[in-house]
Amino acid sequence: MGKKLAVTGNQAVATAMKQINPDVCAAYPITPQTEIMQRFASFVSDGEVDTELITVESEHSAMSACIGAAAAGGRVMTATSSQGLALMWEMLYIASGMRLPIVMPVVNRALSAPINIHGDHSDSMGARDSGWIQLYSENAQEAYDNVIQAVRIGEHENVRLPVMVCMDGFIISHSIESMEFLPDEVVKEFVGEYKPLYSLLDVDNPVTYGPLVLPDYYMEFKRQQHEAMGNVKEVVLEVAKEFEKVSGRSYGLFEEYRLDDAEVIIVILNSAAGTAKDVVDQYRDKGVKVGLLKPRLFRPFPYKEVAEALSGAKVVAVLDRADSFGGFGPVYMEVASALTTNGARPLMLNRIYGLGGRDFMPEHAETVIEELKRVLDSGKIEKQKDYLGVRE
Amino acid sequence: MATPLRLKELSKKEELLTGGHRLCAGCGAPIIIRQVLMAAEVPVVAANATGCLEVSTTIYPYTAWRIPWIHTAFENAAATISGVESMYRALKKKGKIDRKIKFIAFGGDGGTYDIGFQSLSGAMERGHDIVYICYDNGAYMNTGIQRSSATPLGANTTTSPAGRVIPGKVQPRKNLTKIMAAHGIPYVAQSTPAHWRDLITKVRKALEVDGPAFINVLAHCNRGWRTSTNTTIQDTKLAVETCFWPLYEYENGKLRINYKPKEKKPVVEFLKTQGRFKHLFSPENEHLLKEIQEYVDREWEALLREEGMWREGSEEKE
Ligand SMILES: Cc1ncc(C[n+]2csc(CCOP(=O)(O)OP(=O)(O)O)c2C)c(N)n1
Ligand code: SF4
Ligand SMILES: [Mg+2]
Q: Are residues A237 and A290 in the same domain?
A: no
Structural domain contains residue B1: no
Q: How many C-beta atoms lie closer than 10 Å to residue A203's C-beta? A: 17
Please tell me the distance from the alpha carbon of residue B62 to that of residue A208, in angstroms, as a whole number. Answer: 9
Angle at which helix A218-230 crosses helix A82-97, to 10 degrees, equals 110
Among residues A224, A247, A270, the one where a domain terminates is: A247
Structural domain contains residue B2: no
Contacts of B35 (CB under 8 A, 6+ apart): B193, B196, B199, B200, B203
Q: Are residues A155 and A15 in the same domain?
A: yes
* Pairing mode, strands A290-295 and A264-267: parallel
CA of A103 to nearest chain B CA: how many angstroms apart? Answer: 15
Say yes or no to pLDDT of B314 above 70: no
Q: What is the CATH number of the domain that holds A224?
A: 3.40.50.970
SS3 state of residue B137:
coil
Q: Are residues A293 and A236 in the same domain?
A: no
Q: What is the CATH number of the domain that holds B74?
A: 3.40.50.970
Structural domain contains residue A266: yes
Rounded to two decimals, the ipTM of the complex is: 0.97
Contacts of B287 (CB under 8 A, 6+ apart): none
Please tell me the distance from the alpha carbon of residue A292 to that of residue A281, in angstroms, as a whole number. Answer: 10
Q: Are residues A290 and A330 in the same domain?
A: yes
What band does B13 get if pLDDT is binned at 50, 70 and 90? Answer: very high
Helices in B132-275 by DSSP H: which ranges?
A: 176-181, 196-208, 222-225, 232-241, 268-271
> What single-letter amino acid sits at B36?
V
Structural domain contains residue A392: no
**C-alpha distances out from residue A6 to A132, A175, A179, A181, A281, Å:** 31, 10, 6, 10, 26
Interchain contact B118–A (C-beta under 8 A): yes
For the stretch B171-191, pLDDT in tens is 999 999 999 999 999 999 999
For the stretch B273-303, pLDDT in tens is 999 999 999 999 999 999 999 999 999 999 9
What is the enclosing helix (H) or strand (E) of A366?
helix A362-378
Structural domain contains residue B128: yes
Q: Are residues A160 and A108 in the same domain?
A: yes
For the stretch B205-245, pLDDT in tens is 999 999 999 999 999 999 999 999 999 999 999 999 999 99
User: Which range marks the domain in which residue A285 is found?
Assistant: 254-387
User: Which range marks the domain in which residue B217 is found?
Assistant: 7-317
Structural domain contains residue A23: yes
Average pLDDT rounded to a whole number, residues A184-197:
97
Provide the b/e sequence for A242-276 (b: ≥16 CB within 10 Å): ebeebbeeebbbbbbbbbeebbbbbbbbbbbbbbb
**C-alpha distances out from residue B89 to A57, A103, A319, B63, B210, Å:** 20, 20, 46, 27, 13
Average pLDDT rounded to a whole number, residues B32-60:
98
For a pLDDT cut of 70, what percent of chain A falls above it? 100
Judging contacts by C-beta atoms under 8 Å, the chain A residues touching residue B122 are 56-58, 61
Interchain contact B83–A (C-beta under 8 A): yes
Among residues A206, A221, A247, the one where a domain terminates is: A247
Interchain contact B43–A (C-beta under 8 A): yes
Residue of B158, B240, B208 lying closest to B42 (CA atoms): B208
Q: Give the Cα-Cα-Cα angle B280, B281, B285 (nearest 5 degrees).
A: 50
Among residues A247, A282, A301, the one where a domain terminates is: A247
Please tell me if the CB atom of residue B222 comes closer than 6 angstroms to any atom of ligand 2: yes
Please tell me the distance from the alpha carbon of residue A7 to that of residue A1, in angstroms, as a whole number. Answer: 18
Interface touch B83/A70, C-beta < 8 Å: yes
Q: Taking CA atoms, what residue in A is nearest to B65?
A: A208
What is the enclosing helix (H) or strand (E) of B242?
none
- In a mutational test of the B interface, the residue from A50, A60, A61, A99 whose CB has the highest number of chain B CBs within 10 Å is A61
- What's the total number of domains in chain A? 2
Atom from ligand 1 closest to the CA of residue B139: 16
Say yes or no to pLDDT of A16 above 70: yes
Judging contacts by C-beta atoms under 8 Å, the chain B residues touching residue A57 are 118-119, 121-122, 125
Interchain contact B82–A (C-beta under 8 A): yes
What band does B318 get if pLDDT is binned at 50, 70 and 90? Answer: very low
Q: Are residues A204 and A346 in the same domain?
A: no
- What's the total number of domains in chain B? 1
- Residue B313: what pLDDT? 65
Q: How many C-beta atoms lie closer than 10 Å to residue B141's C-beta? A: 26
Beta strands, E only, chain B: 44-48, 69-70, 102-108, 131-136, 187-191, 213-218, 248-251, 254-257
Q: Are residues A73 and A54 in the same domain?
A: yes
CA of A372 to nearest chain B CA: how many angstroms apart? Answer: 48
CA dihedral B72, B119, B248, B288 (to 10 degrees): 100
* Whether the Cβ atoms of residue B134 and residue B108 lie closer than 8 Å to each other: yes
Say yes or no to pLDDT of A389 above 60: yes
Q: Are residues A188 and A259 in the same domain?
A: no
Q: Are residues A219 and A78 in the same domain?
A: yes
